[in-house]
A and B are shown apart, each in its own frame.
Chain A
């Protein structure tokens, strides 16, 4: 089978849209609520999950025939934990402030349902290249939703994007304007409502046949 066959294309595009891990399977909600109050940590988190899912998928897929079935969860956890530790340290070394913002949620990627789900459902049955594509696609599908939620929350909650002020400060009420930033947008409760709206929109566009 060629590297970019039709089946592999489907493996790659599915999680981005019709089989999106957050919007359709509703997995990984916890971190999606916790890290999306600003756009920058949301993107970093999305990329971290993409990298970890892709490489843990590849590793598990490579050793899938040697893993004894009864201890496979532990093996998966060891692989994921190793990758999470590596990513966490890289973040600390190169983007320290973001890693402080993300705090425990990088470590908690270990418990992200998307990862275990892909390892169990895909990597254990498929070859390394397909598993790699699947991991990348699921990570990106997760990241897309995070970016959408993070965009709305940062824009309406802090009036900025990537930390840059978008809404002119003269419009704010403390400077004599009319506008006020919505404090609830910075709370996880509002992230849940926005996420619900995203899912609502997604399902209205892609009606089940």
Chain B
């Protein structure tokens, strides 16, 4: 621990009250607690349960769980590219192409979001909160590959300021920050977020900006919204070798992430499961009673669950501990309604090919109400029990 001793003795005092870099206190503190476990824990008196888990560790687990999606997304970007220009390339070439295309988006998202968080923490004189570690990774995974970097930067800045900091920072936000970023992109720059030109990068890598004249490739949901039959076969929707947002295509990669999240206890299986149940149920209803002419209504229910952002949203967005319902019963209701609304939007509104984003954002605003009802019914139940006794 020579290094830690050195930091403690020589570097730390400079950032404390009276030191040279007093104004950068929270930046130092952020890095310091990120690298080392904090010294101060609660005292061994009272009814505290000591557990090593803190929000940094939770965030780190989610980021680890996102890695399979990220890596597969990179490969898929390369695969779609070489497929579109009609060249054959090895696995490494495809992956490397995707790496070059995706990495700038990750860097931009983190740089902008963390930059704003650092500035605000400095300004308020607070500790830096680590909430953006996950959002910064989610944002590049839910945009199309052709989305220009400056647009991602603008949307990230807006979402961090207006969806998070104005509500009081990490843990206080009502809406999922990554989804607000996507919603902002979707409504502000619809030509960059949907349609059939944005999903495949047709040009050689140009690190500065997104490429404009993309190759035509519709996502399954894009085809459904246009009321056409889906050309991607079911196996490809599972493996993820199809056009779509960077991280959302592969069910397998998302399943690996889901296992990591559930095994580490970070995400709730109740929310996850009930999203799938809700979505499946709604899709089955549409399969049975939906209009014959609506391609999305007639799309088999199990395929509804594998295309678009349904899985990704269910595993990584709906389970966000801050914006989802917190009561255990509430989680079932919350997840179930997300699944229902997502399929409802997909089928009945051709203007929105994908309903997952809107469904989760909508249920984010109802999560406190769901919790309130659950808590209130519990109170009433107990009050009645007292009355009877």
Q: Assess whether A176 is in contact with B212, with CB atoms less than 8 Å apart.
A: yes
Interchain CA distance A185-B190 in the complex, whole Å: 13
A183 adjacent to chain B (CB < 8 Å): yes
Specify which of B162, B188, B212 is in contact with A182 (CB 8 Å cutoff).
B188
CB distance from B167 to the nearest CB of A (A): 13
Chain B facing A: main interface SS? helix
- Closest A residue to B162 by CB, please name it: A193
Which residues from chain B contact A182 at a C-beta distance below 8 Å? 188-189
A184-B184 CB under 8 A given contacts A176-B212, A178-B209: yes
Interface size on B, residues (CB 8 A): 13
Contact A180 B187 (CB under 8 A): no
B183-202: which residues lie under 8 A (CB-CB) from chain A?
Answer: 184, 187-192
Q: Which residue of A lies closest to B189 (CB)?
A: A180
Chain A residues near B188 (CB-CB < 8 A): 182-185
Interface 1/0 per residue, B2-43 and A, CB below 8 Å: 000000000000000000000000000000000000000000
Asked if A183 contacts B189 (CB within 8 A), the reply is yes
Within the assembled complex, what's the spacing in Å between the Cα atoms of A128 and B342? Answer: 59
**In the complex, which residues 164-219 of chain B have their Cβ closer than 8 Å to any Cβ of chain A?**
184, 187-192, 209, 212
Whether a CB of chain B sits under 8 angstroms from the CB of A173 is: yes
Q: Quick one: CB contact mask for A54-89 with B, threshold 8 Å, 1 for yes?
A: 000000000000000000000000000000000000
Q: How many angstroms from the CA of A178 to the CA of B212 in the assembled complex?
A: 9
A185 to B151, CA, bound (A): 14
CB B108 to nearest CB in A, in angstroms, measures 14
- Considering only residues 174-201 of chain A, those with a C-beta below 8 Å from chain B are 176, 178, 180, 182-185, 187, 189, 193
Task: Give chain B residues whose Cβ lies under 8 Å from the Cβ of A178.
Answer: 148, 150, 209
Q: A173-B212, A193-B162 are in contact. Are A183 and B150 (CB under 8 A)?
A: no
CA distance A176 to B209 in the complex (A): 11
Collect the chain A residues with CB atoms within 8 Å of residue B212's CB. Answer: 173, 176
* Beta-carbon contact of B187 and A187 below 8 Å: yes
Of all chain A residues, which has the CB nearest B151? A180
Chain B residues near A180 (CB, 8 Å)?
Answer: 148, 151, 189, 191-192
Contacts of A176 in B (CB 8 A): 212
Residue of B at shortest CB range from A179? B150
A-B pairs, top 8 by smallest CB distance, nearest first, are A184-B188, A184-B187, A182-B188, A183-B188, A180-B189, A178-B209, A173-B212, A183-B190
Q: With A178-B150, A180-B148 given, can you name 19 additional A-B contacts, CB distance below 8 Å?
A: A173-B148, A173-B191, A173-B212, A176-B212, A180-B151, A180-B189, A180-B192, A182-B188, A182-B189, A183-B188, A183-B189, A183-B190, A184-B184, A184-B187, A184-B188, A185-B188, A187-B187, A189-B187, A193-B162
14 A–B contact pairs at CB < 8 A?
A173-B148, A173-B212, A176-B212, A178-B148, A180-B191, A180-B192, A182-B188, A183-B187, A183-B188, A183-B190, A184-B187, A187-B187, A189-B187, A193-B162
